[in-house]
Each structure stands twice: as C-alpha cells, then as structure tokens.
Structure 1
Amino acid sequence: MTVSEASCMICDQITLWKNGQNPYFIHEFDHSIFVVGFHQFHPGYSLLLLKDHVRELHELDAKVQQGLFAELMVATQAIVDTFHPWKMNHSCYGNLDPHVHWHIFPRYESDPERHKHPWIHSPEFKRHAIDLPTTKELRQRIKTSLDKLL
C-alpha cells in the first residue's frame, strides 16, 4: 500500500467493502462500487468509487474509462428510477480525495437553487447525515431499481 493509499478515504471505503463492513454498499461493478451517500441533502445522493487507487481519469486505460462510464450510467439510471428527479448532476473532482470517484446528485424541482451547482449547499451536508436504518432503507430501494436494469 502506498502512502497516498494509506491516507485515502476512498480506499478506506473500498477496504470496508472488501471486508463486508461498508453499510453504504449497493453494488459491485467490474471497475467500481456503487454506494449510498453519507448525507442526503439531495435525496438519492450516491457515489461511484473506482476500486483501484488512481488519481486521474486520464490515467485509466481506455477500456476502463469506457467501462467506468457505462457503470456510472447504470448507477445513474437506478437513481432516476428510484427517485424520479428533475435533473441529474455528476461530478468527479478528486481535489480533496485524490482517487477517481463520481458524485451522483439527483436534483429536484422543489429545490429553489436547482439551477446552481449542488456544492452550493455543501456546508449543510453534515446536517443531513443519515443513520444506519435510513442507509439500509435507501440501499434497498436503489438496489431494487438497479436489479431491474442488470
């Protein structure tokens, strides 16, 4: 394990999943795992985490890039089918956690700031952290939709 992997929060989530201890885990794809977001400021918020510790999308082999994008689209469709949002937002920055991962943000007409980026509310995310029963319920709802796609 490299120093960057040892201090990587995404790698920590992958390790928990590998050990069967990640309560947010929804599904394993070839290149990634799909997880419920730790907060639900945007109901249905979830993430797609690359299994390997890679910092940049352009560092991935072209086939992995294509496969990861296909996985992102399947995960997104599961969120759409579960929550019926007005719009979907995706982001892959890696500035804080330098490990390829996608944030999947459902957006709703009821959000008065729906035309702005979802990070505008990031200071409020911690107040919308979810407990284990809510995590399990969301995970099951999304998995039910996902299973119909696979």
Structure 2
Amino acid sequence: MTIYETEHWVWSLRPHQATLGSGILSLKRECATFGELAQEEYGDLYQMIKVIEGSLQELFHYDVINYLMLMMVDKHVHYHVIPRYKSEREQFDQVWKDQAWPGLPDLSGEVSESEALCKIASYVKSNLKQVHN
C-alpha cells in the first residue's frame, strides 16, 4: 500500500505491521546493491527520509526509528522502516506494543487485516509532513 513517492523512491506500508507505522522504502528501479545508487538517488533518499521521519514522529511519536536493509529474499535496494516504541500506543481501535523493545525488531508474523492497513495508510497519507528546502 503506497503512502508517498518521489522521483526515485516509494514508501509503502508493510503488510505485517511489526510496529505501528512500519513501512518499506524501495528504490523505484532495479538495483541489486546500495553502492550502485546514482548521486541523484541519494539526494532524493535524503528528502524521502525527512518526510518519513517527520510524518511518523508527528503522528505516532516513536522513540527510535530503525532502517533495516536486509535484501535476503528481495534482491533489490529497499529498507524496512520500523518505528520503535518504549510503551504501548492505542490507535485505530487497537493496542500496539513493540514486543521486541529494546532489542532487534521482530519482523515475523501474520499480514495485518486489510481494514487496519487501509486506516493506517489513509491516516498517514492525509497527514504527511512535507519537506521544504
């Protein structure tokens, strides 16, 4: 479920919400290694990070944000964007707990219900924090 995109990157909601607001940040073109990124893609990544962090902080008040570039299954440059929370969050008729805090995030689990994903995506999309340089 796409939340926001720039010229080179797309930010989507993770089907499994490891924590509230978990997403995936993917390069739009095929690229197998981080070192193959073009200079303009790095610059665009900077802009995207500002939008992601600003939006998630304002909406969900995360304590720390993790970017995991694992690329074990999908051999394509992408990050798992995992907001981390010391305490529970109650939102969208649900209590969200970061079960792995303060350790490594747990990315396993079931795909979240589509209704819940739609609510989260819609909320984030309609409250994006835009970057102005």
TM range (shorter): 0.7 to 0.9
Structure 2 partner of 1:16: none
SS in 2 for 1:105: strand
Contact 1:36/1:139 (8 A) holds in 2:
yes
The structure 1 segments of at least 4 consecutive aligned residues displaced by more than 3 Å after TM superposition are: none
Q: Give the partner amino acid of 1:131.
A: E
Please show how residues 105-120 of structure 1 align to structure 2 within 5 Å: 105-110=82-87, 111=98, 113-118=100-105
Please show how residues 111-130 of structure 1 align to structure 2 within 5 Å: 111=98, 113-118=100-105, 121-123=106-108, 125-126=109-110, 129-130=111-112
Contact 1:27/1:34 (8 A) holds in 2:
yes
1:149 to 115, 130, 133: 130
Please show how residues 69-148 of structure 1 align to structure 2 within 5 Å: 69-110=46-87, 111=98, 113-118=100-105, 121-123=106-108, 125-126=109-110, 129-146=111-128, 148=129
Which has a greater percent of strand?
2
2:21 to 39, 44, 55: 44
Classify 1:28/1:112 alpha carbon distance in 2 versus 1 (closer, same or farther; 3 Å).
closer
SS in 1 for 2:127: helix
RMSD, aligned CA: 1.7
> TM-score, length-normalised on structure 2?
0.81
Classify 1:101/1:133 alpha carbon distance in 2 versus 1 (closer, same or farther; 3 Å).
same
Percent identical: 25
Structure 2 partner of 1:11: none
